[in-house]
Structure 1
Amino acid sequence: MTEKPQLGDLVRKQAAPLSEAAFALLVQGVLDYGIFMLDPQGYVISWNAGAERIKGYAADEIVGRHFSTFYPTEDKSAGKPQWELETAVAEGRLEDEGWRIRKDGSRFWANVVITALWDEKGVLRGFGKVTRDMSERRAALQALSERRRLFDHLVQAQETERRRIAWDVHDDSIQAMVAVGMRLQLLEEWVPEECAAELARLDASVREAISRLRELTFRLHPPGIDRHGLVDALSSHLDDVVSTWGLACSFEHRLDREPTPETAITIFRIVQEALLNVRKHAHGSAVTLQVESVDRGILTRVVDDGIGQPMSSNPANEHFGIIEMRERTETAGGWWSMHSEPGTGTTVEFWVPSPESAAAPTDELP
């Protein structure tokens, strides 16, 4: 007596060919990836629409040809195609990025995965190959690398000019003012008594000017910013400068690693300007500085408890300090914002990317 087939068996028998057809339709219809098969010797035996779009060959033009057709002459001379098949056999799969050749002879940067395909008896039946055109991504990374290089040069040039101005002010202007002060002190013994008060006011003005010039040289080039890390530089600035303004300071930091010198200088300069704005405009009693690693960059907040200020919707009305902070941040590839309302204090918040200290050479970018 023949056993009656179960409903589940009938469904599975009907689903199998439908699933295979659907899978073939999926592979053939994918346009963003070149998906094709090679025989055990590396000759193309299948070809999808994505492979045609990326490499330029129609199926009838490439099926039966060796996949080394896609490799530059130098790679073929070095035996790279054969080496990739041997590696895929030995390790099960191989992933590679490098130049490939289209039908028209042009090059494109490809991400390639080759997978060895074995049957149930352990016999090598061929290879599955998936190719993706990464040319646009590589060009974007190269552009980003070039922008970063230019940004680093800009920061270095700015700091060199600041250092030069600081030295000029210290060695020329301050020394000249000190000499004027010394002469005023000498004059005290020679001027009539009725002129002494005016002379004392002049001397006080000169001393105040010297103090301001020294403060200017410190802001232009704080000692140690080139030799110490970001956290130490910010901590020293809070202790040595901001605390003398009568502000209670707190500093919270959670950095995964030390940023590049150019990134550290950029963050320091923005924080320096934000704190100076607190001194000039906030009329508060405390300020909090927070620095932490976020999203492959560094997020920084400067929060005061001052009177706050109404925010202008017109960038033309922003004062120079705000413009400088925003431009520095955006030049570094980051974002900047300020939140403030009367009576609630002000928060300056900004994020800048933090690349690795040693960028990968352009030729090695994926």
Structure 2
Amino acid sequence: MSAPGTSDANPVPQGNQSGEHRYHFAIDIDGEFAVFTLDTHGQVETWNASAERITGYGAGEILGKPLSVLYPTVSAGVPVHSDILVRAATTGRAYDEGWHARKDGIRFWASVLVIAQQREQGDLAGFAAVTHDLSQRQLIEAKLRRSEQRLQAMIDSVEDYAIFMLSPTGEVTSWNTGAQRIEGYCAGEIIGRHFSVFYPPEARTAGLPERMLETASTQGRSEAEGWRVRSDGSRFWADAIITPIRDDKGALQGFAKVTRDLTEHKRLEQLEHVGELAAATERAREEEKKRIARELHDDLGQQLTALKMSAVILQQDVEAGHYTAETAAKARGLVVQADDTMSALRRIASNLRPTMLDDLGLLPAVEWLADEFSRRYGIKASTRLSAGELAFSDTASTAIFRIVQEALTNVARHACATEVVVTIELDDNACEVRIDDNGRGAASAPGDKPDSFGLLGIRERVRQLNGTVSLGNRLDRGFRVQIRFPIDTIVRH
């Protein structure tokens, strides 16, 4: 604290001491500061009205008394102010905050600034002192401390949330019971360490902790859900919120971070997803059984019936001894019908698992699938395949083939499209698969709902290969299924 200004000070003669005039300053600054002077022995020489109001001593009671009367004493009787005059005489000024004593013995917290006064010759002439009653400030600070203690006690009692503070650069500065339970660290192990230790290596490499702080600082809040790491290395799924803490001037003081363990919620969500997938898979099996049964009945069944009828007629001719040209034609017809039946069997088997996927690879199999789709449904299907140099693994080949197959099935059932394009191409370090149609889009197509089996099956196959899937209407017309796979998850190793 600096001494108050003396622009209103009036020098008042205080008498003659060793032939020299001494002066004091009669200063009263809004009744807020006690201003007085001391001689070289520390005895009061001048006293202002504020000093009387603050301490209770009138000028007549205090002049000539030592400074020690304004201080309480410790048990040994040594005044707590004993070194302030020595420090002021040595360095020119001294400042202290501490307990002072009023005339009635009541203590109050105050600051005191003592400034050494020198004569023209340079020797010590005495001291000027300014005392400020800080009782109200101390009360406010005490209330703040109690509030902080209550808040900290409340935070410490929370066990379901990790609540702690970070420095502006991300070091942990406080820790609660919930943080210890969730993160696994005790306060002594974690305070002072950077909060990036809570993130898995891949998140640290990607700079996620730093981005969280930057977002919180610039936008007022950052929130992220993902895997976090406990002190023992185990992972848990968490939701974390970071908010900046600023002073009254807007300067960043640090961050508050709240983390919630969502592992159980995530597990239940996954179980629910697995249950939905299992139910959808069962529905798909039933649909596939119906489709195969229908094809066997409508296609293969009809051909077998015709084959049987022709065989019966031929048998009757043979038994009757009718070996004519007509009999030979009937025999040739049986061969043709047998060939048609075998073709139908091969087609049905190919729908279940195309042999060319194993014999020729993914891209020729996709071309065949597009041709079969066009032939069967009358919808023009074209392919744009530019990933021929990539050696797809068997798992990836099967997954991508089924994805294209399921997407085309959705187009046939729901899109009302006249054209569809299948694209498989390499892009940077990824392989992109797109199925674009010119149909009516997702808004009016019930089969394009995210929970329909075709799209659910696509999502699951993509997830198993660490890919990403995007579903939505095209800008011009139709619907797009867009999938990206990291190269290293689909190549043959």
TM-score range, shorter chain: 0.3 to 0.5
**Which protein has the larger Cα radius of gyration, Structure 1 or Structure 2?**
2
More strand by share: 2
TM-score by length of 1: 0.45
More helix by share: 1
